[in-house]
Amino acid sequence: MQQVRHLLEAKGRTVHAIAPEASVLQALRKMAQERVGALVVMQGNELLGVVSERDYARKVALMGRASADTPVREIMSAPALTVGPDDSVEACMRLCTDSRVRHLPVVEHGRVTGVISIGDLVKAVIDEQAQQIEHLQRYIAG
Identify residue 100 by its one-letter amino acid code.
Answer: R
- Provide the pLDDT confidence category of residue 13 given band limits of 50, 70 and 90: very high
Contact 93, 125 (CB under 8 A): yes
Q: Which of 10-14, 76-80, 131-135 has the lowest mean pLDDT?
A: 131-135
- Listed by start position, the domains of the chain span 4-141
Please determine, looking at this structure, whether the domain spanning 4-141 carries the CATH number 3.10.580.10: yes
Q: Residue ranges of the alpha helices (H) in the chain? A: 4-11, 24-34, 53-56, 89-99, 118-141
What's this model's pTM, rounded to 2 decimal places?
0.89
**In this predicted structure, what is the pLDDT of residue 106?**
98
Contacts of 43 (CB under 8 A, 6+ apart): 19, 20
**pLDDT tens by residue, 19-74:** 999 999 999 999 999 999 999 999 999 999 999 999 999 999 888 899 999 999 99
**In this predicted structure, what is the pLDDT of residue 90?**
95
φ, ψ for residue 47, nearest 5 deg = -80, 120
Mean pLDDT (the chain) is 94
